[in-house]
Amino acid sequence: MPEGAAIHAAAQTLALPPRPGGAPGGTAIAAAVANLDLEARERVVYAAIASGNVPSWLREMVRVDMTRTVAGSDVTVTFWAAPDYLAVGSDTDWFLMPLSPQTAQRLADLTHTSLPTPPMVDAIWRQAAVRPGPDSIAPSAAMVTVPVFAEHMATVLKRRTGSAAPLGALVAGHKKDVVLSHLLDSLPNRVAIYGWHLPTGVPVQPLWVGHTQDHVDYSHGIRLVARRVWVDGVEHDLLDLLRDPVLSAALSDEGPINHPGYRQVP
């Protein structure tokens, strides 16, 4: 098989079961977890997503290409990303649910995917068909609550439905990504966030690990990316690439990441 055909044939889908008949929509799930603490809320959301209660258009991952410099030479990196941040619910009633990095990692492990690195987030934004842009809500103690999640969701939904691009097209810029970072090797109890790109392509949020792992606010989004990555036509596992002293440059600006994932830290 020619090299390009092999990459094309590697198109990815999220490995989740079909959506159960009668499963609640995103609005109902958000209402059901609104008064729960973080741990209880995420148990409900994890179970819903693991059962397949996600939109059908979120399952087909989108090919993303970027050019990187590895060992002094330019290479083409190809990976697949979910078309939007992780949502719970149906095709017509879906909710972008911010999650802790530990729950996000459990879902990544379940679906044999990963969270992205900042360069991958940039590449997704550059290639996105829809770039709603960041919408901030005044900082307060309520920013970690579901009602504020819903307030932001309403703004995102209004912008998204104003686009002619169909659901399933690549969308970026409306959330800060929970990302992988070398900084987490020595700070395993933190969450790394990055992104929220302006229309100019400049991220509002530079890479930052100032929050502990239990901080989950309305601006956070979980973007899953496939573990299969191609560098100049050669297939690699994303986690192996990130650990490699040389090849990690294909995905990281920080050098190798020894622990490319979120560990369960007390």
pLDDT tens sequence across 164-173: 899 999 999 9
pLDDT at 243 over 60: yes
At residue 165's C-alpha, the angle toward residues 159 and 170, to 5°, is: 85
Q: Which of 159, 99, 168 is nearest to 133 (CA)?
A: 159
The reported pLDDT for the residue numbered 212 is 96
Output phi, psi for 236, to 5 deg: -140, 160
Which residue in the block uniquely carries the two structure tokens 């939007």?
Answer: 84
Tens of pLDDT along 61-118? 999 999 999 999 999 999 999 999 999 999 999 999 999 999 999 999 999 999 999 9
Please give the pLDDT value at position 264: 77
What secondary structure does DSSP assign to 9-48, as a single string?
HT--B---PPPPTT---HHHHHHHHTTS-HHHHHHHHHHH
9 has a pLDDT exceeding 60: no
User: What is the widest separation between alpha-carbon atoms in the chain?
Assistant: 56
Identity at 229, one-letter amino acid code: V
Separation CA 120–CA 117 (nearest Å): 5
Tokens encoding 242: 């990130």
Contact 172, 125 (CB under 8 A): yes
Q: For the chain, what's the residue count?
A: 266
- Band (pLDDT 50/70/90 cuts) for residue 5 is low
b or e along 111-148 (b: 16 or more beta carbons within 10 Å of the residue's beta carbon)? bebbbbbbbbbbbbbeebebbbebbeeeeeeebbbbeb
Asked if residues 230 and 250 have their Cβ atoms less than 8 Å apart, the reply is no
Q: How confident is the model at residue 202 (pLDDT cuts 50, 70, 90)?
A: very high
CA–CA separation, 201 and 126 (whole Å): 8
Q: Tell me how far apart the alpha carbons of residues 138 and 191 are, in angstroms, rounded to a whole number.
A: 21
How confident is the model at residue 219, as a pLDDT?
Answer: 97
Predicted model pTM: 0.94
Radius of gyration of the chain (CA): 18
| Burial class for 158, CB neighbours closer than 10 Å (0-12, 13-18, 19+) | exposed
For residues 129 and 170, is the Cβ–Cβ distance under 8 A?
Answer: yes
Alpha-helical (H) ranges within 95-252 are 101-111, 118-127, 146-161, 238-243
Kind and range of the H or E element at 190?
A: strand 190-197
